[in-house]
Amino acid sequence: MFSFIKWVQGNLSALKRHKGLWFTTLTTISTLGILISMYLINSMTSSVAHETYMEERRSDINQLDSLLLNRYDSLLNMGSILSLNPILTKSIKAKQDKAIKTLLKRTTQTINDNVDISPISIRYYSRMVKVQDSENIDIAKMVIETQQSVSGVVVNKNGIRILGMVPIIENNVSIGALEVTESIHRLKNEFELLGKEFTFLTSKQQLVFMSLEHKQGMYKKINDEFSVYFHQYDSTFYLNLAKLDFDVLRNQKYANDNQFYTTYDDIIDLNGRTIGMALIGEDSSNANSFVKITQNMINSVTTVALGLVISLILFMF
């Protein structure tokens, strides 16, 4: 070991006698040290940024799940209360379809006029009468037979709907089912209260199940896979979605450009089909956004660390 140290000292003394070679060696070693340090620092900060964005994604998806569960509970509670109306059960037993529709239409109008939620739709299914225009008849049959409530997302002629369906029970016998739905696009309002952007992209394969009246002139193409019910959303966000590479988004689970941090979750309906994608975003340019705070923190750490590395290299030589 002692001989190795003597060998190093001898080489350094020889280099110092050749000043040009000495300074060239110092410059090369210092430059390599700085470059290697910059690479290591950038790798570590990129990893930290990725973990930060992934944690934000987990938070956004949990928030989406929570909001959907809240809407399911709200619609089911509404349906449960309405299903106890004695006039409704009496009319169903008497097969008075017209009277039931009049009652539900009046109830729907009253709720929509007086409750601060997106417009709801109420429909009934009877065990004894085949109801016309029954889009979710298979779900209704299951609810009637099992006497169990069901909630989820469905594709109807009026678009993508959040659904809550409850059995109508009299004397422990299920005589029908009551369906309460609202548009999935109402989640936009919920996310806005959290300072977030929300857009639901509809799979183009689902447009065939919607009425011409609902979809004509109301959907804008995002890419070959998705369309957006554009008049419900801020154009700045959904037009930015058209610029994204969705393969990269799916692989990385998020995207971050100069305008928005964006993440997503696939939406699956009650039949197990993927019917679209919920996109959640945050304005990257906002000084108070987590993206800007993360970038500023990383830039500060990188600057300080690089300064320390340069100072250490200069001190060593």
Q: Which of 139, 165, 184 is the last residue of a domain?
A: 184
Q: Does 171 share its domain with 207? A: no
Cα separation, 198 vs 189, in Å, equals 8
Q: What CATH number has the domain bearing residue 121?
A: 3.30.450.20
What is the pLDDT averaged over residues 49-54? 75
Q: Is 244 within the bounds of a domain?
A: yes
* Residue 131 in tokens: 């109801």
Q: Which residues pair with 277 in a beta bridge?
A: 201, 266
Going by DSSP bridges, is the β-strand pair 197-203/173-183 parallel, antiparallel, or unpaired? unpaired
Q: How many domains does the chain have?
A: 2
- For the cut 90, the answer to whether the pLDDT of residue 2 exceeds it is no
Domain co-membership, 209 together with 257 = yes
Domain that holds residue 81: 70-184
Is 31's pLDDT higher than 80? no
One domain, residues 174 and 200 = no
The C-alpha atoms of residue 239 and residue 233 are separated, in whole angstroms, by: 10
Name the residue among 244, 149, 159 with its Cα closest to residue 202: 159
The C-alpha R_g of the chain, in whole angstroms, comes to 31
The verdict on 169 and 201 lying in the same domain is no
Tokens 């320390």 appear where? 308
Same domain, 177 and 255: no
Same domain, 135 and 204: no
pLDDT score, position 90:
87
| Residue 163 resides in a domain | yes
Is residue 208 predicted with pLDDT exceeding 60? yes
Q: Do residues 159 and 212 both lie within one domain?
A: no
SS3 category, 170 = strand
Token readout for 232 is 């419900």
| Residue 181 confidence (pLDDT) above 60 | yes
Q: Is residue 279 part of a domain?
A: yes
Q: What proportion of the chain, given as a percentage, has pLDDT over 70?
A: 70
Residues 263 and 170 in one domain: no
* Residue 132 and residue 180 share a domain: yes
Q: What local confidence, expressed as pLDDT, does residue 159 receive?
A: 92
Domain presence at residue 228: yes
Residue 19 lies in a domain: no
Asked if 199 and 177 sit in the same domain, the reply is: no
In one-letter notation, the amino acid at residue 261 is Y
pLDDT computed for residue 142 by the predictor: 92
Q: For residues 175-194, give the mean pLDDT.
A: 92
Residue 62 lies in a domain: no
Q: Give the global pTM.
A: 0.77
For 210-267, the pLDDT digits (tens) are: 988 888 889 999 999 999 998 888 788 888 888 889 999 999 898 888 788 899 999 9
What's the pLDDT tens digit per position in 253-291? 988 887 888 999 999 999 999 999 999 988 876 545 555
